[in-house]
Structure 1
Amino acid sequence: MKYYPQLTKRQAVSALEEFLAERAPALERFRQALRADGRDPDTLLDGTTQGLVPLWGWVLSGLTGPDAPACTDPATVPHEDWPSWERFTAETEAILSYESVQLLDGFISYLVRVVEDRTPTAQWQIGQHPNKRYQFRNHPVLAGADRQIFFPGPVASSAREVVRGRRAPANDEMAGYAQAVIEALSAEETRHEPPEPLVEVEDLGDHPIRGREIEVSLREDIAHEYSRQVDHMVKTLAMEDGITRVIREDREVLLVATPSWNTTQLQEWVTQALRDAGNDHS
């Protein structure tokens, strides 16, 4: 099982798409849970940040542990049935019941909607930062004004602390969090991060059929605007000693099979090839 930071760029894109695709079904399950408890979803889900106060209070009151009566231990549920944010952040879930995880998944969907409605310029992307140890690397994040927000983190963390008895329930916690996120995503950009690297490489290890492979990720503008030059570079690289195969999986990603080249050697070769072609945009 891989966690978000361990994903390749291609896998991180798929994880982002999966997370976004889960939002509508999770919200519908959340609405059904409210109805089953005799609550009116149209009244509670009023789209306001203040409306999160009673809603989060209701969520907290319904949280249970995996050993609670009539509840499901997540360990008995296939990993692929877990919400993707849980699957990519935890190998096991020892604090919350599966029903509680599903409840949080629905709340996250609604929280996302409340924030999105108030931050129209924010965009979904893969969490990235020049620091490879960035805590939200490859996570699905809503980004704006130099901020990247991974919603499941604080929601799940707070819920677990309440279930463990380490924190008293605070119904207004998520309303305050939502307001802070809205302000952060709407603020003017004040920090200037270094540009995305021209080339990133990752050793994927040995494939049982194709052998050792290295993934090469090209910066988006290079891959799209200079596609023909990249195609030529692929053909040239495939002729190098020690390279057994080069596949351009999509515009931005190359798969290089090699038993002898290391990642540094390959990154330097690709970077130099792009610069030699007159595309020095680093």
Structure 2
Amino acid sequence: MATMLYESMTPAQAADALDAFIAERPAALKQLRSTSAAHGGDPERMLDGSLDSVAPLWAWLTDRFTELGADPRTLDEDPTRETWPSWARHGMLVDPHPPAETLALVDGFTSYLTRIITAAVPGTQWLVGEHRIGTHPMLNYPLLASDHHQVFLPSMPLYSAYQSAHGRDPMGGTEMLAYLQRTITALRGEGPVADATEEPLVTVVAEVDCFDVGLRPDLAAQHPQTVEWMITELTDRDGVESVHRYGPDALVVDAPDWDETRLTLWCTLWLQRHLAR
């Protein structure tokens, strides 16, 4: 099961993957502290467990991600893959991918966010992602959850790390802090994020030579400019040949080298980031 994607796991395999993910949390945070100290930082100050620490910590991490760039090897050729955090081995990474050091930093930041969130929202717990819609993008993933909301914590930091590695627009410290605050609010059962957890933002179906992408019905009506912005950015991605909008909530995407999982995750994470702006 070393490189099996979460989406392909049986319930028993997903439960084992969750146990592995949880077991990695303390060591990942310890490694982040060691790395910050090795680069001249003060771990006690940088990682003091406060909300105020998140923005400067993420700004420092983003600078490191930019310096590290993308690994020149393909995923299949990268010998460090077996040393990656379990969520990176089982998740949908694509080339050009961030190097092992970047993934380790994202892993440590995930552990740090866990510490902050669980202190702010007592009663949250890790569980295997389930959903009544089988193609839900977090199915089988290790999710931090309350009765109101669930989140795969590495997703947004990894998304931004990819942005840094590819020379695109990463999330700044203030933006990451705002994302964390929205997540805490949603886990408490407050705000629009918590209200919209039952239906995925996008649903992707593979057709013969394209993908049919359905948008959640409220997006076009309430966020028309954001939807157009997403279409523009998706069209500009490597491997995407065209994006055609044939209805308010419907797209046809021609991306021969992509698959349903990659397209679903990209659209979901892009929307999660930009709907809050």
TM-score normalised by the chain length of structure 2 = 0.63
Amino acid at match of 1:65: G
1:189-244 superposed Cα distances (whole Å, 9 cap, x missing partner): 87897xxxxxxxxxxxxxxxxxxxxxxxxxxxxxxxxxxxxxxxxxxxxxxxxxxx
1:34-75 superposed Cα distances (whole Å, 9 cap, x missing partner): 11011110011121122101000110111112458xxx9874
Pick the structure with more helix per residue: 2
**Which has the greater radius of gyration?**
1
Instruction: Determine if contact 1:3/1:88 at 8 Å carries over to the other structure.
Output: yes
Tell me how far apart the structure 1 counterparts of residues 154 and 172 of structure 2 sit (CA, whole Å).
17
Tell me how far apart the structure 1 counterparts of residues 86 and 197 of structure 2 sit (CA, whole Å).
31
- 2:150 paired residue among 138, 148, 151: 148
The answer for the alignment partner of 1:111 in structure 2 is: 113
Label 1:143 to 1:165 Cα distance change in 2 as closer, same or farther (>3 A).
same
- 2:41 paired residue among 33, 39, 42: 39
Label 1:5 to 1:168 Cα distance change in 2 as closer, same or farther (>3 A).
closer
The answer for the alignment partner of 1:6 in structure 2 is: 8
4+ long deviations beyond 2 Å: 65-68, 72-80, 90-95, 188-193
The answer for the alignment partner of 1:126 in structure 2 is: 128
Tell me how far apart the structure 2 counterparts of residues 86 and 41 of structure 1 sit (CA, whole Å).
25
Tell me how far apart the structure 2 counterparts of residues 103 and 8 of structure 1 sit (CA, whole Å).
29
The answer for the alignment partner of 1:186 in structure 2 is: 188
- 1:96 paired residue among 95, 98, 114: 98
Instruction: Determine if contact 2:149/2:189 at 8 Å carries over to the other structure.
Output: no
The answer for the alignment partner of 1:199 in structure 2 is: none
Amino acid at match of 2:62: L
Instruction: Determine if contact 1:145/1:184 at 8 Å carries over to the other structure.
Output: no
The answer for the alignment partner of 2:159 in structure 1 is: 157
Aligned-pair identity in percent equals 35
For structure 1, which runs of at least 5 residues remain unmatched after alignment? Answer: 194-282
Instruction: Determine if contact 2:148/2:188 at 8 Å carries over to the other structure.
Output: no
| 2:86 is equivalent to residue 84 of structure 1 | yes
Q: CA deviation at 1:163?
A: 2.2
The answer for the alignment partner of 1:174 in structure 2 is: 176
The answer for the alignment partner of 1:215 in structure 2 is: none
TM-score normalised by the chain length of structure 1 = 0.62
Label 1:36 to 1:184 Cα distance change in 2 as closer, same or farther (>3 A).
same
Tell me how far apart the structure 2 counterparts of residues 73 and 30 of structure 1 sit (CA, whole Å).
25
Amino acid at match of 1:157: Y
1:117-158 superposed Cα distances (whole Å, 9 cap, x missing partner): 111121211000111111100100011133110011111001
3-state SS of paired residue (2:143): strand
3-state SS of paired residue (1:141): strand
Matches within 5 A, 1:60-79: 60-63=62-65, 64-67=68-71, 75-79=77-81
